[in-house]
A and B are shown apart, each in its own frame.
Chain A
Amino acid sequence: MRFLGLSARTWAIIIAAIVLALMAPLFILNKFNTFQFAYVWALAIALIGLNILTGYSGQISLGNGAFMAVGAYTTAILYFKLKVPYGWTILPAGLVAGLAGYLFGFPALKLSGLYLALATFALALSASPVIKNFGDLTHGHEGIVLPQAEDPLGLGLTNEQWVYYLALIIAVVLFLFARAMLSGATGRALRAVRDSETAAAASGISLTYYKTMAFGVSAFYAGIAGSLFATITAYVSPDSFDLPLSLGLLVGMVVGGLGTLAGPVLGATFVIWLPIYAQSIFKNKPDIAYGVILILLMFLLPQGIAGGIGRLVAWYRRRSTEVGPPADEEEVVHEFAVRNSTGE
C-alpha cells in the first residue's frame, strides 16, 4: 500500500505528528512557544520549497530570502494599502513570488553550481536595498506595521494560536502538494535533470521547463512563507529579509538534510530556536553558533547531509547505475550512504 510514494507506516507517523502539532498549542505550548512554532511552520514551508529546488532539481539558491521578501511585501501592500483581508493575500503573495522566481529561473538556467550560488548570493544581498528604494510602496526603512491577525471564524482562539494553526494547516497542505508533485512524473524528471542534464535532455525532458519550474515552485513556497511571516509578526521591514535570512534558510536545509521528509521541520525548528538559545546562553546573535554548526556538519557528514548538494555538482563524475528511481526518499538517502561508504 503506497500513497504519494510513501508507505502506510510513514503515513501513520506523519498523521501522528500532525495530530501532535494540532494538540500542542492547546496543551503543551505557552504563548511565546506557540508564536515561535508558528514561525517554525512558516519557515518549514520555505524549506520544502528550497528542498524542491536544491534537493530535486539540483540548483543551489542562497537567495530564497529575497522571494520571501516578495511574498511578505505583497501581503503587506495588499493588506495595508488595498485593504484586502490578509487571508486573501497569502495565495497572491505566493504567486507573485513564484512568478519572480520563475523569471529568475531563466538566467539561472545558464548558471551552474558555483555561479548560481554567486548569483543567488547577490540576489539575497540586493533584496533589502531594492525594498528601501521603493519607499512609496514599501515605506523604506520604517517598514509597514500591520494589524494583528485575529481568528475570523470565532473559534475562540488567541492571536498566537490562530497564526499557529494558519501556518500549520498551510504547511500541511503544501507538504501534500509537494509530495503529489514529486512522487510522480515531475519528481522523476527533476531527479533526472539533477543527476545528468545530458541524459535527461536526451530522454526528451525539457531542461528549460523543469529547471525554471523548480525555481518558480520554490519561490512560490518562499513567498507563502514570507506572507505568513508578515502575518505572524504583524510587521514587515527590509532588514528582516537581508542576507542572514537567506543563509539561515540554507543552514536549515543542510541541518534538516536534503531529500528527507522530516528535514524541513527539523531544519526550521533549528533555525528558529537556535537564536533564542544563543540569546539566552551566549548573549549574542546566533551567527557564531550557526557558523560552527554548519562547518561541523560539513566535516562530520560531508557526504551524508550535504552530500546531497555536493553530489548534485559532482554528478558528472560518476554515472548513475540505478535502473529506476527508488520509490521512497529514505531509500535514496540510504543508498547514498551505502554508495559513499563503499567509495563508489
Chain B
Amino acid sequence: MLLAAASAAQGVIQQIVSGLATGGVYASLALALVLIYRSMEALNFAQGEMAMFSTFIAWTLISVVHLNYYLAFAITIAVSMVGGFLLERVVIRPVEKAPPLTVVLVTLGLFFVINGMAGLIWQYVIKAFPGPPGFPQAPVSLGGVSVGIQDLFLIGVTVVLLAILYAFFRYTKLGLAMRSAALYPETSRLLGVRTSWMLALGWGMAAGVGAVSGMLIAPIEFLDPNLMQPILLYAFAAAVLGGIENPAGAVAGGFIVGVLLALIGTYVPGARDLRLAFGLVIIVAVLLVRPGGLFGRVHVARV
C-alpha cells in the first residue's frame, strides 16, 4: 500500500520532470514571441515556422555536413539571428507603422512562405534529429525517480537562455536601448536611439531563441515542416499565461504548460490526443479570468 503510493508519487515526479523539459521548449518559443510582442505589440504567427526552418538548417549541418553537434547549434543560432534580422528589414519594416492586425496578417503570410520553402527544400518527410552528444539517452535514478539526462539538458538550456537575455536587457547599453525603444519609441528616437533598428534586433534575437526551441524539441518529436505548429500553440498559451509582455512570466508559463500537459496526458484517459484542444482551453480560460496573465499588467484603454 505504502509502496504503491510511493511509486505513484515517483511516477508523478517523473512526469513533472519530463513536463518541465518540454515546458522548456515552450518557454523558449514563448520567450521569442514575447520579445517581438514587447517591441511591436504584434504576435508573430510565423515564429514557430522560423524555428522549424532553423532546425532544418541545424539538421543539414549535423546530418549532411557532419559538423559537431554543439558547433552546429551555435552556427544555427547565429544564422537564425541574422535571418530574423533580415526578415524584419525586408518583410516587417514596410508595415511597421501599420495596425497590429496588418502585421499579424503579414506574419501569417510568412507562415505560409516559410512552411512551403521548408517543404520545397527538405520535403515533407520526417527526419530524425540527434540529441546532444555527451548526454546519454538512458535515464539516471535520483532518489528513486528516474530522470532523463536529456530532460535536464532541456531545462538547463532554457534557464541559461533566460539568464543571458536577462543580463543582456538589464546590463548592456544595447539592451537598455531596446527596452526604451519598445516602451517609449518617440522619446527614444529623440534621444538618438534608432528604434526601427532595435525592432530588427528584437526579431533577430527572437529568431535565435526560437531556433533553440526547435533544436531542443526536434530529437523528441522528429523533424518535419509541421513540427512547430503545435509547439507554437503551446508557446502562445505559455506567453498568455505568463503575461504576454513579461519574459520571465513567459518562461514560467512555458514550464507550467509543459507540466500540465505531461500530467494530463498521462493521467487523464484519452487526453493525449486532445492536448492541442487543451492549449486552446488554457488560452481562452486565462484570457477570460486574468486577461493580463499570471504576471502581467492589465492595460486600461481610455475612451
- Where the two chains meet, the residues of A that have a C-beta atom closer than 8 Å to any C-beta of B are 60, 62, 107, 110-111, 113-115, 117-119, 121-123, 125-126, 129-130, 132-133, 198, 243, 247, 250, 254, 284-288, 290-295, 298-299, 302, 306, 309-314, 316
Instruction: Provide the residues of chain B in CB contact with A288, threshold 8 Å.
Output: 112-113, 116-117, 120
**Interchain CB contact under 8 A, B102 and A250:** no
Q: How large is the interface on B (under 10, 10 to 19, 20 to 34, 35 or more residues)?
A: 35 or more
Q: Is B291 an interface residue (CB 8 A)?
A: yes
**Interchain CB contact under 8 A, B280 and A306:** no
**Interchain CB contact under 8 A, A110 and B288:** yes
Q: Supply 10 A–B pairs (Cβ within 8 Å), ascending by A.
A: A110-B291, A121-B236, A122-B280, A125-B233, A284-B116, A285-B116, A287-B113, A292-B113, A298-B105, A306-B102
Provide the bound-state CA to CA distance between A132 and B106, in Å.
31
Instruction: Provide the residues of chain B in CB contact with A309, threshold 8 Å.
Output: 99, 101-102, 105
Q: A117-B101, A118-B283, A298-B105 in contact; A287/B301 too (CB < 8 A)?
A: no
**Interchain CB contact under 8 A, A133 and B283:** no
Q: Is the interface of B mostly helix, strand, loop or mixed?
A: helix
Instruction: Provide the residues of chain B in CB contact with A286, threshold 8 Å.
Output: 116
* Shortest Cβ gap from B211 to chain A (Å): 20
Q: A291-B110, A298-B106 in contact; A129/B273 too (CB < 8 A)?
A: yes
Q: Is B94 an interface residue (CB 8 A)?
A: yes
Q: A113-B100, A117-B101 in contact; A299/B94 too (CB < 8 A)?
A: yes
**Interchain CB contact under 8 A, B98 and A310:** yes
Instruction: Provide the residues of chain A in CB contact with B98, threshold 8 Å.
Output: 298, 302, 310
* Shortest Cβ gap from B87 to chain A (Å): 11
Provide the bound-state CA to CA distance between A122 and B270, in Å.
20
**Interchain CB contact under 8 A, B274 and A313:** no
**Interchain CB contact under 8 A, A114 and B42:** yes
The contact of A114 among B43, B94, B284, B288, by CB within 8 Å, is: B43
Instruction: Provide the residues of chain B in CB contact with A254, threshold 8 Å.
Output: 105
**Interchain CB contact under 8 A, A250 and B276:** no
Q: A119-B284, A125-B233 in contact; A114/B100 too (CB < 8 A)?
A: yes
Residue of B108, B119, B237 with highest tally of chain A CB at under 10 A: B108
Q: Is B191 an interface residue (CB 8 A)?
A: no
Instruction: Provide the residues of chain A in CB contact with B229, threshold 8 Å.
Output: 125, 243
Provide the bound-state CA to CA distance between A132 and B119, in Å.
24
Provide the bound-state CA to CA distance between A122 and B230, in Å.
9
**Interchain CB contact under 8 A, B109 and A292:** yes
* Shortest Cβ gap from B126 to chain A (Å): 16
- Across chains A and B, the number of contacting residue pairs, with CB separation under 8 Å, is 146
Provide the bound-state CA to CA distance between A295 and B108, in Å.
8
B301: nearest residue on chain A (CB-CB)? A316
Q: Using an 8 Å CB-CB cutoff, how does the interface string of B206-248 with A read, 1 for contact, 0 for none?
A: 0000000000000000000000011001001100100000000
B117: nearest residue on chain A (CB-CB)? A288
* Shortest Cβ gap from A75 to chain B (Å): 22
Q: A119-B287, A316-B303 in contact; A287/B115 too (CB < 8 A)?
A: yes
* Shortest Cβ gap from A310 to chain B (Å): 4
Provide the bound-state CA to CA distance between A312 and B240, in Å.
23
The contact of A311 among B99, B119, B230, B233, by CB within 8 Å, is: B99
**Interchain CB contact under 8 A, A198 and B287:** no
Instruction: Provide the residues of chain B in CB contact with A129, threshold 8 Å.
Output: 273-277
B103: nearest residue on chain A (CB-CB)? A298
Q: A291-B112, A295-B106 in contact; A107/B95 too (CB < 8 A)?
A: no
Provide the bound-state CA to CA distance between A115 and B100, in Å.
11
Instruction: Provide the residues of chain B in CB contact with A114, threshold 8 Å.
Output: 41-43, 100-101, 104
Instruction: Provide the residues of chain B in CB contact with A121, threshold 8 Å.
Output: 45, 233, 236
Instruction: Provide the residues of chain A in CB contact with B274, threshold 8 Å.
Output: 129-130, 133
Q: Is B111 an interface residue (CB 8 A)?
A: yes
B43: nearest residue on chain A (CB-CB)? A114
The contact of B101 among A111, A132, A310, by CB within 8 Å, is: A310
**Interchain CB contact under 8 A, A107 and B102:** no
The contact of B102 among A110, A130, A290, A310, by CB within 8 Å, is: A310
Q: Is B279 an interface residue (CB 8 A)?
A: yes
Provide the bound-state CA to CA distance between A130 and B233, in Å.
15
A129: nearest residue on chain B (CB-CB)? B276
* Shortest Cβ gap from B230 to chain A (Å): 7
Provide the bound-state CA to CA distance between A174 and B126, in Å.
43
Q: A198-B303, A288-B112, A294-B112 in contact; A123/B280 too (CB < 8 A)?
A: yes
Q: A287-B115, A290-B112, A292-B113 in contact; A302/B279 too (CB < 8 A)?
A: no
**Interchain CB contact under 8 A, B113 and A291:** yes
**Interchain CB contact under 8 A, A119 and B283:** yes
Provide the bound-state CA to CA distance between A287 and B46, in Å.
13
Provide the bound-state CA to CA distance between A291 and B50, in Å.
14
Provide the bound-state CA to CA distance between A258 and B299, in Å.
29
Provide the bound-state CA to CA distance between A124 and B149, in Å.
35
Instruction: Provide the residues of chain A in CB contact with B115, threshold 8 Å.
Output: 287
**Interchain CB contact under 8 A, B113 and A125:** no
**Interchain CB contact under 8 A, B233 and A122:** yes
Instruction: Provide the residues of chain A in CB contact with B116, threshold 8 Å.
Output: 284-288, 290-291
Question: Restricting to B252-303, which residues have a CB under 8 Å from any CB of A?
Answer: 270, 273-277, 279-280, 283-284, 287-288, 291, 301, 303
* Shortest Cβ gap from A263 to chain B (Å): 16
B124: nearest residue on chain A (CB-CB)? A285
Instruction: Provide the residues of chain A in CB contact with B100, threshold 8 Å.
Output: 113-114, 313
